[in-house]
Amino acid sequence: MSLHLGDIAPNFKTITTEGEIDFHEYLGNSWGVLFSHPADYTPVCTTELGKTALLKQEFEKRNVKVLALSVDPLDKHLDWRNDINQTQHCTVDFPIIADENREVANLYDMIHPKASETFTVRSLFVIGPDKKIKLMITYPASTGRNFYEVLRVIDSLQLTANYSVATPADWKSGDDVIVALSVNTEEAIKKFPKGVNVVKPYLRFTPQPDTV
């Protein structure tokens, strides 16, 4: 199944380390991050789940629920979770999906045959409260993800969903943002009372509108 930005994230019911869940019900009105791992007891995955657990408060602050996925069975997930907690000095308490039949992996096109016939690649999806896919990132199995970048993108997605702005290269929360092309300069001056810096007619900056 080929998914695109703006598609409704496919719903599913599945077994996880936190019990049975219905994906859409689990998300509720929250944002979601769904990310896959090649297998349990692999070193890069161990660090990734540990980092996600350590960033729990950052995800909660942004109203984001996270779910991990591996094609290994539940008993392996539970044992591996103990290793993660021990080695990464954390507490993994978000669901890890036991996708033995690869139903969710296939639903989200997480298995790339040229990379591996059986294991999932490092796919990551950010899903909005409207259940639409806002971001898709795919890493090779050998490269761990940067979860600070995931948080940065979520900050941008949440900001631009509420204001007529875009975020420039290397933007981080608190930096100036770009006025959307859908707003002309006269409207922008009224809309953004903190000021508008017109570099070019199509390139206009304003302080982040949701900060004091």
Give the CATH number, domain containing residue 47.
3.40.30.10
Pick the closest to residue 149 from 131, 176, 167, 132 (CA basis).
Answer: 167
Strand partners, 127: 32, 133
Do 140 and 175 sit in the same domain of this protein?
no
pLDDT the model gives residue 119 = 54
Give the CATH number, domain containing residue 197.
3.30.1020.10
- Which of helix, strand or coil describes residue 114? coil
Considering the domain boundaries, does residue 212 fall inside one?
Answer: no
Scanning the structure block, which residue is given the tokens 């259940």? 131
Residue 93: both structure tokens together:
């308490």
Do 130 and 202 sit in the same domain of this protein?
no
At 54, which helix (H) or strand (E)? helix 43-54
- Band of residue 57 on the pLDDT scale cut at 50, 70, 90: very high
What is the value of pTM for the model shown?
0.92
- Which of helix, strand or coil describes residue 77? helix
Q: How many domains does the chain have?
A: 2
User: CA 86, CA 198: separation in Å to the nearest integer?
Assistant: 52
pLDDT the model gives residue 110 = 83
Do 110 and 177 sit in the same domain of this protein?
no
pLDDT, greater one: 52 or 119: 52
Do 43 and 110 sit in the same domain of this protein?
yes
pLDDT the model gives residue 114 = 47
Do 68 and 128 sit in the same domain of this protein?
yes
Do 184 and 113 sit in the same domain of this protein?
no
Residue 83: both structure tokens together:
């290793």
- Band of residue 37 on the pLDDT scale cut at 50, 70, 90: confident
pLDDT the model gives residue 1 = 54
Considering the domain boundaries, does residue 121 fall inside one?
Answer: yes
Catalytic residue among 9, 27, 34, 45: 45
Q: What are phi and psi of 145, to 5 degrees?
A: -80, 155
Do 36 and 66 sit in the same domain of this protein?
yes
Do 56 and 88 sit in the same domain of this protein?
yes
Per the annotation, the verdict on 90 as an active-site residue is: no
Considering the domain boundaries, does residue 155 fall inside one?
Answer: no
When pLDDT is averaged across residues 121-139 and rounded to a whole number, the result is 93
Contact at 8 Å (CB) between 40 and 76?
yes
Do 124 and 193 sit in the same domain of this protein?
no
Tell me the percentage of the chain whose pLDDT exceeds 90.
80
Domain end residue (candidates: 92, 111, 144):
144
Do 182 and 79 sit in the same domain of this protein?
no
User: CA 125, CA 109: separation in Å to the nearest integer?
Assistant: 11
- Domain extent, residue 50, equals 13-144
Do 200 and 132 sit in the same domain of this protein?
no
Residue 120 has pLDDT above 60, yes or no: no
